[in-house]
Amino acid sequence: MAIGSTIRRIGFWTIDTIKGGNIRRHYQEVSEIMQNPFSERAVDKRNRLLEELLDHSIRTVPFYSKYEQVNFTRLPIIGKDLVQNNFDSFKSNKFRTKELCKVSTSGSTGIPFLLFINQDKRSRNIADTLYFFNNVGYNIGDRLYYLRLWNGEQKSELKRLLQNIVKVNISKMTDGFVNDLLNELRRDNSPKCIIAIASSLETLCKYIDRNNLKNLDINIKSIIANSEALNDYTKKSIEKYFNAPIVSRYSNEEQGIIAQQKTDDNKYFHINWASYIVEIFHMDKDIPVKAGEVGRIIVTDLFNYSMPLIRYDTGDIGVMELIDNERVLTCVEGRKMDLIYNTAGDLISSYCVYPVMDKYNHLIKQYQFIQIGKKEYLIKLNIHKEFIYSEKLIKNFKAMLGTNAEISIEYVNEIPELSSGKRKKVMNTNSQIDT
């Protein structure tokens, strides 16, 4: 199988060379910058990329034409709703639509999103993907199991064969489905990597726990969890059962890979400074926060010239700190619209919910924690047989939220998934709280 991977890898790069070698050039640039993203050379390169993007945007994008004399730090923060409501104003007049690639999101934030990317941006995204995969031991041509909700996204059979990708649709992760997947992974003795929505990995681990499976003997090099927060239970279980490192990736469909953890130190996310500028802004004001403070993640894409997203509010929450002379994300929370608050009105990290629920993992198939009022909370539980710890669970959460918290439990047969395949574990449906 190593020979097959080598042949596929050579085939991929040969095709790129025939087409002009654009992906290789981007890959080399990403690698050089990411080796030391705050070296003088890397900073100069990033500044040049930003200047070129701003010059292009002012000249060819109607929305930015009025900002000719404005410094980057004075440009407005933009979001999905602004872009969608002024779609044509964000399109560069340099490109014809038929030359572009369409990108759409599933609308996990409640706002489905469509935009276009130019071919050079597409090449950059591929180079970013190859670089961050390589960081976890995966090379183009290796076997890659991709667990997600596949809703008609098609990859040509030639490309799928060259890249050796196995598409796994997680729309219904029943016990039978998980058993078949584990059997397939066992039969496939080639070195392989897995990329998956975090909750699908949790379902996999819970199945292994319940059935007391041992000696899985699955040859996995590494695993990447994306789209959702990776809890401690899943991380520790993956490392125990599969004897493989697991890292989290932070990305979005409209821009690409923004940050990823490293296998040798997965405490924080290394930002993709080669392709983006990342800032953290106040939760309610368009001003930067200090290092170590929680805020909105604002991203500038340096390569999408067809529809520039400059100082784009991703809708996610995070914390940036300076560690070993590198600015990294020490926390990536999820959507601002799903933040929860204690009964005193103080913001509570969604990560506080996971350790409480992890204590009952062996009894629960799925759960969802919802804030429905200023002091009212609902816990939805999809259980295996019986759950006798409801009073203890409520007591655990009152210790975190406040003794005057009103917490109810609802037993359900299924936690509905979003169109993206994700299942929100933490939600806030309270319109009285300004999130």
The lowest-confidence range among 73-77, 360-364, 388-392, 430-434 is 430-434
Q: What contacts 24+ positions apart, CB below 8 Å, involve 290-299?
A: 291/320, 291/321, 291/322, 291/327, 292/319, 292/320, 292/321, 292/330, 293/319, 294/318, 294/319, 294/331, 294/333, 294/347, 294/349, 295/319, 296/336, 297/258, 297/329, 297/332, 298/77, 299/255, 299/258
pLDDT at 87: 95
Q: Are 304 and 91 in contact (CB under 8 A)?
A: no
Predicted confidence (pLDDT) per residue in 308-348, tens digit: 999 999 989 999 999 998 999 999 987 766 778 899 988 88
Residue 285 carries which DSSP code? S
Residue 32 carries which DSSP code? H
Rounded CA separation 11/163 (Å) = 9
Predicted confidence (pLDDT) per residue in 364-401, tens digit: 888 999 999 999 999 999 988 889 999 999 999 999 99
Span 119-140, mean pLDDT?
94
Rounded CA separation 55/68 (Å) = 8
Span 103-124, mean pLDDT?
80
Triad 44, 45, 49: Cα angle to 5°? 115
Predicted confidence (pLDDT) per residue in 258-304, tens digit: 999 998 877 899 999 999 999 999 998 999 999 999 999 999 999 99
The one-letter code for the residue type at 229 is A
pLDDT at 150: 78
pLDDT at 435: 42
> Is the pLDDT at 1 greater than 90, yes or no?
no
Rounded CA separation 379/117 (Å) = 40
Rounded CA separation 275/126 (Å) = 12
Beta-strand relationship, 294-301 and 312-323 = antiparallel
> Is the pLDDT at 408 greater than 60, yes or no?
yes
Rounded CA separation 311/400 (Å) = 35
> Is the pLDDT at 49 greater than 90, yes or no?
yes
Summary mean pLDDT of the chain? 89
pLDDT at 343: 94
User: DSSP states of 363-389 as a string?
Assistant: TEEEEEEEE-SSSEEEEEEEESS----
> Is the pLDDT at 134 greater than 80, yes or no?
yes
Using alpha carbons, select from 226, 250, 92, 79 the residue that is nearest to residue 146: 226
Lookup: tokens for 102: 């369409």
pLDDT at 425: 84
Provide the strand spans (E) within 70-210.
101-104, 114-117, 143-148, 165-169, 192-197
* Percent over 70 (pLDDT), the chain: 92
Using alpha carbons, select from 126, 108, 105 the residue that is nearest to residue 29: 126
Beta-strand relationship, 256-262 and 246-252 = antiparallel
Using alpha carbons, select from 416, 355, 406, 345 the residue that is nearest to residue 108: 416
Rounded CA separation 432/411 (Å) = 26
Residue 290 carries which DSSP code? P
pTM of the predicted model as reported, rounded to 2 decimal places: 0.84
Lookup: tokens for 395: 């007591």
3-state secondary structure of 121: helix
Predicted confidence (pLDDT) per residue in 204-215, tens digit: 999 999 899 987
φ/ψ (deg, to 5) at 82:
-65, -45
CB neighbour list of residue 360: distance below 8 Å, 6 or more residues apart: 387, 389, 393
Across 72-76, 113-117, 430-434, the highest mean pLDDT is recorded for 72-76
Beta-strand relationship, 376-383 and 364-371 = antiparallel
Rounded CA separation 340/334 (Å) = 11
Rounded CA separation 229/333 (Å) = 7
* Percent over 90 (pLDDT), the chain: 62
Rounded CA separation 124/99 (Å) = 16
Q: Are 320 and 291 in contact (CB under 8 A)?
A: yes
The one-letter code for the residue type at 277 is I
Helix (H) or strand (E) holding 15, with range, is helix 2-18
Torsion of CA 268, 269, 271, 272, to 10 degrees: 150
Span 221-227, mean pLDDT?
91
pLDDT at 152: 57
> Is the pLDDT at 172 greater than 50, yes or no?
yes
Q: Are 247 and 196 in contact (CB under 8 A)?
A: no
